[in-house]
Amino acid sequence: MSGADTSSLTNAQVRIHSVINRSLEVIKDSGRVFADEGAYRGPLRPGFIAYVRSFASVLYAHLLSEDRIVFPYFRDRLPETPFDLMRAQHEKIVSWLYVVQEELDEMEYDPHPSESLALLIDAAFNLGQLWYPHIVHEEKVFNARALANAVTPEEDRLLIKLMTDHCLANSGPDYLVVPFILYSLPPEERISMAQKLPPEITRLLLPGPWKQKWEVMAPFLSA
């Protein structure tokens, strides 16, 4: 095992957590503004709906990849870690995520969705109450030093690939979730992450045919 205090898996976990943290706060803050000003009847509504759907898709895929790939991989290597408890926490988070999705469905087709919007905001708040302490613990478990002593650099890279492939296969559509993730990151991290994507996505699809589909989310994305 490597003794170096580095791990791309640690960095990847922190990065996707930061994406979800930011988007969760955007959803709660924007939802409150919509509720106070009745803005859900205006032009921002389609973008808000697409943004929340992207959030739900990315969060669900992230949790699923941990349950199916990361936790089983480390169960024997980090035997003191309460993986069953962490999976149970995932289930509780997902239960509130389902409520978010259900209320979003109501909001999409209701011309006066004040009640469903209020319930969506409440569900996002309750989800956050579970999410934030969960990732504090998770990031302590999967810190760089612990993983450097548990996996080789080759295994670390393999885990990153397995997680990435799994997340892409279980989230979507690509034309929404890719810009959602990239533009939820600070500019320097966005550039770093974009360099890991196929050039076809960053040079052709993202600024080309995808843009007319994702730019509706622009008011909620990071500049």
> Which residues make Cβ contacts (< 8 Å) with residue 11, sequence separation at least 6?
144
Q: What is the pLDDT of residue 41?
A: 65
Angle at 131 between CA 110 and CA 177, to 5 degrees: 55
Q: Give the Cβ contact number of residue 35 at 10 Å.
A: 16
Q: What is the pLDDT of residue 5?
A: 39
- The count of domains in the chain is 1
Q: Give the Cβ contact number of residue 115 at 10 Å.
A: 12
Q: What tokens does 203 get?
A: 């040079």
In a domain, 2, yes or no: no
Confirm if 185 and 157 have CB atoms less than 8 A apart. no
Confirm if 91 and 5 have CB atoms less than 8 A apart. no
- Taking the chain (223 residues) in consecutive chunks of 10 residues, what is each chunk's mean pLDDT? 56 93 95 75 86 97 96 94 97 97 89 86 97 96 90 90 90 95 92 85 91 95 87
- Domain extent, residue 60, equals 8-220
Residue 149's CATH number = 1.20.120
pTM of the model: 0.92
Kindly report, residue by residue over 109-131, the tens digit of the pLDDT: 887 778 889 999 999 999 999 99
